[in-house]
Structures are given as C-alpha cells and as structure tokens.
Chain A
C-alpha cells in the first residue's frame, strides 16, 4: 500500500479498524428493517458511506481497486432487477403485483428475523441498490470522470486526465 496517497496514518488506522463495524451497522439496519427503525434506504446509504470513507482515507486508486470500476453499476442494476423480480413473483403466485406471497407469520411469534414474507428480501435488494448507486454518484461527482475511447465507455480518475 502506498503510504503517500490519501490522508495521514492516524486516519488510515482508524478507518482500517472502523470500516467493518460501519458496514456491519449498515447490514443491521437493512436486515432488521421490518422490526426496528431503519430499512433499505438508510442501510444502503451507510453501505455507501463505508466505501466513501475508504475512498477519502486511502485515496481513490485503492478504493477503486477494492470496489471495482464497473462493479458498482452492476450491483446497482442487480438490486433494481431483484426488487422487480420479487414484485413479479407476486403475479406468478397470487395474481397481484407486489403480493406478499411468502408465509408471513413465524410460528414462534412475529418478532423474528424471518417473519415478514417478502419485506426483508425487498429491503436487502433496495439496500444493495441504494448503496451502489450513491457510491457511483460520489465517485462520478468527486473522483472519477468518464471518457469514451473508440465508442467504449471507460472510467478514469481525474489524475490521469492528460493520458487520454
């Protein structure tokens, strides 16, 4: 790891310790969205905030190597398609769009993790989608420019602008 990129050593060490916990908090908000305050949207924003923290602390090259350049847009599309697929499965099972077709009540009470039918699946897909989408918006606005070479889109960093 190149020590000159990004912020100081203190910020890098704290980020290295904290990034897993922040990601875990986002996952908690997403998965427990049907039981406690939270849901797919704020959890996804916390996911994006984790990667933004890594980007700010370690520099753009490190974060883009971790997250992948096109992987974020693919995760974005994946979340949207998963959400639409769950909605369409409602038509297949009961004839209504967005039908909650999985059995809703847990035998040992309603306050269990797997208790609300399709709602936790929708939360997870929206969490993936929002996290990838907001991270893409961040790297477009602040880090990365898109150039088109020979008809194919490429994401480059602003540092390498002269290279074309």
Chain B
C-alpha cells in the first residue's frame, strides 16, 4: 500500500514540475490534470470514494474551464532571469515549513492506523459507531458533512456564493457608467 501511494506521489510531483516548467500553456494545463488524476487514484487506494469522485468531476470541469479560458489568450513570456532574493526567500520559507512540519508529523499516528483506535473518546469514534443510528444515513461521510458538521457545509456554500459574486463583479468588460449628477 505504501509503495503504491509513494509511486503515485512521485508521478504527481513529476507532473507538477512539468506543468511549472513547460513553455506551452496547454501542456501545463494537461499535466496539471494528470496530477489530479493521480490524486484521484491515490484517494481510491486510501478507501475514500467520495473524495475520489469529487476530485474526478471537479478535475474534468476545471480542465474544460482552464482550456476554454486560456486557449485564445496571448502568451506573455518573461525573458529575464529569476530574482535571486526571491529564490532565497522561497527556499528559506520551504525550509522553515519543513522544520515545523517534521515537528508536527511526530505527533501523528503511524500510517494506516486510524486515529479513532487510539482514543476512544474522539468524535470520529462516535460518528462511526452511532452515525447510522443517529442520522439514518448509510453513507457516513454524508452524515458527517450534512448532519454533524452542517456548519462547515454552510460555510462552503457561502464561499461558492461569494466567489460567484466576485467573479461577476470583477470579470466584466466595461465599468459601471457614471450617472449624470456627479
């Protein structure tokens, strides 16, 4: 299992590097989609079919939107070299994140050990044991995101609503006409 996940992660990293470094915009989008596809397969191996399904459909939709939105844009190329100070800052930030991440990963349970087996009072334990009885939903993920954690889903819906408002407000061509009184 760990070997499979590791192989998929290596493919995802390769696809990300290709999509960052390639010159062609269409190739970048396609390799980014390959990264998403490998993430979908990895989620299937991790036994999360809900998230794998969501990943797959959102990936297809974002592929269409990205191709459609970028296919007629003029390509802008930057000729000069990268900023040395920016590169140093990037590597320093990655190093700091790596240090803190190593410290945080030490407290996680080992791979393949669910956290609810370690602590019997954890909320996930209650969701798994009483979820079907308390909510009536056979899909535990659905019962968690819409019954136990309904606030999170409400926040997600609000985020989508705000994003469509922002897109409508910003992406119009012409500005609002000024009225005669001003």
Contact = CB atoms under 8 A, between A and B. Distances in A.
Given A37-B50, A146-B172, A147-B172, A137 B137 contact: no
Interface string B145-159: 111001101101110
A104 B160 contact: no
A87 interface: yes
Contact of A133 (B58, B69, B164): B164
Of A37, A46, A136, A151, which is in contact with the most chain B CB atoms at under 10 Å from its CB? A37
Contacts, number: 168
What does DSSP make chain B's interface, helix, strand, loop or mixed? helix
B57 A46 contact: yes
Given A52-B61, A87-B154, A122 B146 contact: yes
Q: Classify chain B: how many residues form its interface, as a range.
A: 35 or more
Interface in A104-143: 104-106, 110-111, 115-119, 122-123, 126, 129-130, 133-134, 136-138, 140-142
B77 interface: no
B161 A104 contact: no
Of B57, B68, B145, B175, which is in contact with the most chain A CB atoms at under 10 Å from its CB? B57
A42 B161 CA distance: 17
A129 B157 contact: yes
Contacts of A36: 138-139
5 cross-chain pairs, A with B, having the tightest CB-CB distances, nearest first: A104-B136, A98-B150, A146-B172, A37-B49, A34-B137
21 contacts: A29-B53, A34-B142, A36-B138, A37-B50, A42-B58, A52-B64, A84-B154, A87-B150, A110-B138, A116-B136, A117-B147, A118-B147, A122-B146, A130-B160, A133-B160, A137-B65, A137-B163, A141-B167, A142-B69, A145-B173, A146-B168
Interface of B: 49-50, 52-54, 56-58, 60-61, 64-65, 68-69, 132, 134-139, 141-143, 145-147, 150-151, 153-154, 156-158, 160-161, 163-164, 167-168, 171-177, 179
Interface of A: 29, 33-42, 45-46, 48-49, 52, 56, 73, 76-77, 79-80, 83-84, 87, 97-98, 100, 104-106, 110-111, 115-119, 122-123, 126, 129-130, 133-134, 136-138, 140-142, 145-151, 161
